[in-house]
């Protein structure tokens, strides 16, 4: 340690946070300390503004990103991007209000046990369900992953876990969350099932992550076993089929294969910061693939992006009076979730405001699009379209979504090629992860995520990982069956396809 930064929460609580000699940013120093909950950060890209802090002492000189993201008035008032500045001894910073925790509690029955806890540890969010003896929800909720201070994507998390010390720090943040959950219920919890992607699982089990950090990629943990952590009930870890296809996917497949009557062939697409895909030919044979998507489908890293929660825009429409927003929970819009961005880009493409490459149409043919173009603001960082609620869509946001679209459609195409199938042969496409609740099926087909004709067979499957983890607690006899399924999966390596770069660029268009 080389000094202390004083952090003042919006509640007035003060904390002294030690500075480490590793060149860390102020953002990492604050939100990897475990002292305060992290916001949904953009991995230090300096675009989201979520790491803003107000200096009371030791104010550094502003950088260009401070003014561009926060505005000149905020900079004069002492606000800075914590990801763009280094901590220094004696600094005193004030935090904005923390992100809310969506936590729902039900009344416990006196004889309702044994209680079991299903947990889905995502890169962005942690979801959980406490089950009573009958398998019903006794409590449920979600919060941001406390590791978010290391960055919002898998690559940032792996970089932070490259040393044993860094890995244990990240592990400790999630274990503390689990301890807080288990101890806060007021009833004994008998067992956990913790499903996560391969990176989250390796970190949680304190396994070397080097096999996930560079090619040739290796699976550091096969899963399919029970582990114990001090002070916590035994936890079953679902099997992990391949590097970057983890226990969240196998738990999701348990929900689809054993929790309902499947119709084959079907695709499960679990879409978060990493896209994980399964093409199930029957109950025993499947192909799996993964592709990095980044956090934009979860609304993170985009200028006004955020997770899907109360106050998030989930859809846009365009009418004679301009753009209007549909807000989760009603009220004024305060952020745009990933599905809101997909809906917005779909609307702008159909109106002729954007072309198929995501570029602004300078001479649109429709009057509505022409009116929108006239409202566009231009600056050194590109164009920006004003939106309801004082928000805006930047050209850079469209580019991020286009990259995600290309990765998604290429992964689906590759799986179908490996199985020798055409898209019309699919009985169903189940969307989980970030798109699993507020999925805009029409937008996905219009934008080219899905081949034409699949919209009617695409369903929002919700959080399949959490549902599967709960099922594996209710019916432990399914665990061995799922482990056998995982071992038989065929991996489709997208980057090994001949002409991968050319294939990817071919998918870099909407529609």
Beta strands in 371-416 (DSSP E): 377-379, 382-386, 392-394
Spatial distance between the Cα atoms of 491 and 488, rounded to a whole number of angstroms: 10
Which of 102-116, 268-282, 343-357 is modeled with the greatest confidence? 343-357
The neighbour count for residue 175, using CB atoms within 10 Å, is 17
Average model confidence (pLDDT) for the chain?
A: 90
Is the pLDDT assigned to residue 441 strictly greater than 70?
Answer: no
Same domain for 361 and 347: yes
- The pLDDT assigned to 387 comes to 96
Say what angle helices 464-474 and 247-258 make with each other, to 10 degrees.
70
Burial class from Cβ neighbours inside 10 Å (0-12, 13-18, 19+) for residue 308 reads buried
pLDDT at 126 over 80: yes
Within a domain: residue 347?
yes
256 and 275 share a domain? no
Q: In the 8-state DSSP scheme, what is residue 161?
A: T
Q: Do 427 and 306 fall within a single domain?
A: no
| 151 and 211 housed in the same domain | yes
The confidence score (pLDDT) of residue 304 equals: 86
Q: Structure tokens of 105?
A: 């509690």
DSSP state of 217: P
Query: Is 176 found in the same domain as 109?
Result: yes
Cα distance between residue 251 and residue 259, in whole Å = 11
**Per-residue confidence (pLDDT) for residue 209, from 0 to 100:** 96
186 and 118 in a common domain: yes
Q: How far is Cα 94 from Cα 12, in angstroms, rounded to an integer? A: 9
The Cα 272–Cα 265 span in angstroms is: 23
Domain that holds residue 159: 102-260
Q: Quickly list DSSP for 289-303.
A: EEEE--GGGGT-SST
Question: Contact 130/189 with Cβ under 8 angstroms?
Answer: yes
| Structural domains counted in the chain | 4
Question: pLDDT per residue over 334-343, tens digit each?
Answer: 889 888 999 9
Length of the chain: 511
Q: Residue 496: left (phi > 0), alpha (psi -120 to 50), or beta?
A: alpha
User: Which of the given ranges, 18-27, 222-231, 332-341, has the highest pLDDT on average?
Assistant: 222-231
Other CB atoms within 10 Å distance of the CB of residue 114: 14
C-alpha of 448 from chain center = 21
What is residue 334's predicted lDDT score, i.e. its pLDDT?
86
pTM of the shown model:
0.86
Non-local CB neighbours of 338 within 8 Å, separated by 6+ positions:
296, 297, 298, 299, 305, 308, 434, 435
**The pLDDT of residue 110:** 45
Give the mean model confidence (pLDDT) for residues 140-166: 89
Q: What are phi and psi of 111, to 5 degrees?
A: -115, 35
More confident residue, 363 or 21: 363
Cβ atoms 207, 221 nearer than 8 A: yes
CATH number, domain of 288, equals 3.30.420
For 307, the token pair is: 């997770």
CATH code at position 188: 3.30.420.480
Token pair recorded at residue 407: 């990765």
Residue 472 lies in a domain: no
Q: β-pairing, 125-131 with 137-144?
A: antiparallel
In a domain, 21, yes or no: yes
- Please report, rounded to a whole number, the percentage of residues in the chain having pLDDT higher than 70: 93
Domain co-membership, 426 together with 327: no
User: Looking at residue 163, what is its pLDDT?
Assistant: 93
Q: Which tokens go with 459? A: 């369903």
**CA 148 to each of CA 168, 170, 295, 313: distance values in angstroms, whole numbers, following the listed order:** 15, 9, 11, 22
CA distances from 411 to 123, 275, 277, 292 (A): 20, 9, 8, 10
Give CA–CA dist 132/53, Å, rounded: 42
Encode pLDDT of 194-215 as tens digits. 999 999 999 999 999 999 998 8
Q: Is residue 79 part of a domain?
A: yes
Q: What is the pLDDT of residues 385-436, one digit of tens each?
A: 999 999 999 999 999 999 999 999 999 999 999 999 999 999 999 998 756 5
Residues 276 and 222 in one domain: no
- The mean pLDDT of 22-47, rounded to a whole number, is 78
Residue 370, domain member (yes or no) = yes
Structure confidence at residue 281 (pLDDT): 98
- SS3 state at 391: coil
Distance CA 252, CA 254 (A): 5
């Amino acid at each position: 340690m080389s000094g202390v930064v004083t952090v003042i929460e919006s509640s007035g609580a003060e904390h002294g946070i030690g500075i480490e000699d590793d060149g860390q940013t102020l953002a990492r120093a604050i939100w990897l300390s475990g002292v305060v909950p992290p916001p949904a950060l953009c991995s230090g890209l300096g675009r989201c503004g979520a790491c803003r802090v107000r200096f009371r002492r030791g104010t550094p000189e502003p950088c260009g990103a401070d003014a561009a993201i926060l505005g000149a008035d905020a900079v004069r008032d002492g606000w800075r991007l914590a990801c763009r500045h280094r901590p220094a001894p004696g600094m005193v910073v004030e935090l904005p209000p923390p992100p809310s925790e969506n936590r729902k509690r039900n009344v416990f029955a006196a004889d309702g046990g044994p209680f079991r806890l299903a947990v889905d540890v995502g890169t962005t969010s942690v979801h959980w369900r406490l089950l009573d003896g009958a398998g019903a929800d006794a409590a449920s909720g979600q919060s941001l992953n406390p590791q978010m201070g290391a960055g919002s994507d898998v690559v940032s998390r792996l970089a932070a876990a490259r040393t044993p010390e860094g890995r244990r720090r990240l592990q400790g943040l999630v274990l503390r969350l689990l301890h807080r959950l288990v101890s806060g219920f007021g009833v004994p919890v008998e067992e956990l099932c913790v499903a996560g992607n391969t990176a989250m699982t390796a970190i949680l089990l304190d396994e070397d992550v080097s096999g996930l950090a560079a090619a040739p990629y290796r699976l550091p943990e096969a899963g399919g076993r029970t582990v114990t952590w001090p002070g916590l009930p035994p936890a079953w870890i679902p099997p992990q089929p391949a590097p970057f296809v983890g226990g969240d996917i196998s738990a999701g497949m348990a929900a689809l294969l054993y929790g309902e009557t499947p119709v084959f062939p079907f695709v499960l697409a679990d879409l978060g910061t990493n896209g994980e895909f399964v093409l199930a030919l029957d109950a025993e044979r499947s192909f799996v693939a993964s592709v990095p998507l980044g956090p934009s489908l979860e609304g993170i890293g985009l200028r006004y992006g955020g997770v899907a929660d109360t106050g998030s825009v989930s859809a846009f429409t365009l009418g004679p009076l301009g753009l209007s927003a549909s807000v989760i929970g009603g009220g004024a819009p305060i952020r745009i979730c990933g599905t809101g961005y997909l809906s917005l880009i779909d609307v702008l493409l159909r109106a002729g405001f954007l072309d198929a490459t995501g570029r602004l149409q300078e001479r649109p043919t429709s009057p509505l699009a022409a009116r929108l173009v006239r409202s566009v603001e231009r600056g050194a960082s590109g164009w920006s379209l004003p939106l309801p609620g004082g928000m805006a869509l930047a050209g850079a946001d469209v580019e991020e979504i286009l990259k995600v679209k290309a990765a998604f459609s290429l992964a689906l195409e590759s799986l179908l090629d490996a199985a020798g199938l055409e898209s019309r042969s699919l009985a169903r496409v189940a969307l989980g992860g970030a798109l699993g609740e507020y999925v805009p099926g029409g937008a996905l087909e219009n934008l080219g995520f899905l081949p034409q004709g699949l919209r009617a067979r695409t369903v929002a499957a919700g959080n399949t990982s959490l549902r599967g983890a709960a099922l594996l607690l209710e019916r432990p006899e399914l665990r061995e069956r799922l482990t056998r399924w995982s071992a038989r999966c065929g991996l489709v390596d997208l980057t090994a396809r001949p002409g991968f770069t050319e294939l990817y660029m071919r998918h870099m268009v909407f529609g």
